[in-house]
Every structure is written in structure tokens, then in C-alpha cells.
């Protein structure tokens, strides 16, 4: 198992190809991006976030990721977004002046829970205890998704 040491950066420093990072921001505006206006199928959720310095950036997360991770995000929520895909903010739906926008793959309002068995439980406990505040990268080779309810 390997760990990536991430640092918190301000929104104004977000650019492609920088070290692993995260931002803590508040969602100030959200809207659905539909695949086709006639079908009204939501393709992604677009949102604008603001940090403590007042800097804003536009982000999007696919509807499938929101549904799969059971993330329930609303305007006004504080979220932590970790290293995402950073792309130029030059499209027709540009909502901020930031030169880039985020395509979010993971944010911390949602969580992925899994059940570990046997020696894997102790391996994970030992790793978390001995590696301090870092974000572990876990590779799951065989898994089954179970839906509650």
C-alpha cells in the first residue's frame, strides 16, 4: 500500500500538473447539465465553489459518480475536493473567471465503505496507525457492490 501526502492549496493555485492537493470550499451554486434537452437526462452536476480567500472555481461531477457514491450535495455545503482532473475553463458554460475548471472524481462528503476480513483488518489498522495523517491509496482487486435498502 502506498500513501500520497496531499497539501491544502487555495483555489487560485489550481492548475494542471501540480503536486497532489486538496481544497476545502463551500458550494455556492449548483445546476444540472442535461445530456439532451428533450430527454432531460442529467449528465452531470455543475457547481461553483468558493474558498476562504473568496476565489471561485467551477467544477463538475458526473451523475453516475454522485449516484454510485450516494453523495448528497447542496448549495451552502462545505466540501473537501482532492486532486481532480484540471481542464481549461474556456467553454460556453463558463461560470467563473478562473482559467481552469475541475472534473471531480472524489470529494469528502461521500464515503466508500467496505468490509475487510482476516489479516486485512490488521494490515489496514497497522498502516493507518503508523503513517500519520495521509491519504492511503487502496487497490481493490476483487469486490462486490452491495446496495442497502
8 Å CB contact between 86 and 104:
no
pTM above 0.85, yes or no: no
Grid cell listed for 44: 452531470
Most confident listed range (22-31, 70-79, 102-111): 22-31
Is it the case that residue 132 has pLDDT exceeding 70? no
Ordered alpha helix ranges (H), the chain: 63-68, 119-130
For residue 30, which of 85, 87, 113, 109 has the smallest C-alpha distance? 109
8 Å CB contact between 60 and 44:
yes
8 Å CB contact between 11 and 57:
yes
Span 42-70, pLDDT tens digits: 678 889 999 999 999 999 888 777 666 65
Amino acid at each position: 500500500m502506498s500513501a500520497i501526502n496531499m497539501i491544502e492549496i487555495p483555489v487560485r493555485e489550481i492548475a494542471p500538473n501540480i503536486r497532489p492537493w486538496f481544497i476545502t470550499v463551500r458550494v455556492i451554486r449548483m445546476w444540472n447539465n442535461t445530456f439532451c434537452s428533450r430527454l432531460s437526462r442529467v449528465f452531470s452536476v455543475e457547481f461553483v465553489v468558493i474558498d476562504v480567500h473568496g476565489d471561485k472555481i467551477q467544477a463538475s461531477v458526473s451523475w453516475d459518480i454522485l449516484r454510485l457514491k450516494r453523495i448528497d450535495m447542496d448549495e451552502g455545503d462545505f466540501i473537501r475536493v482532492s486532486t481532480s482532473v484540471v481542464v481549461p475553463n474556456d467553454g460556453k458554460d463558463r461560470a467563473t473567471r478562473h482559467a481552469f475548471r475541475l472534473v471531480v472524481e472524489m470529494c469528502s462528503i461521500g464515503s466508500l465503505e467496505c468490509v475487510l476480513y482476516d489479516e486485512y483488518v490488521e494490515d489496514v489498522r497497522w498502516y493507518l496507525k503508523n503513517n500519520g495523517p495521509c491519504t492511503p491509496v487502496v487497490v481493490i482487486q476483487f469486490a462486490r457492490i452491495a446496495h442497502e435498502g
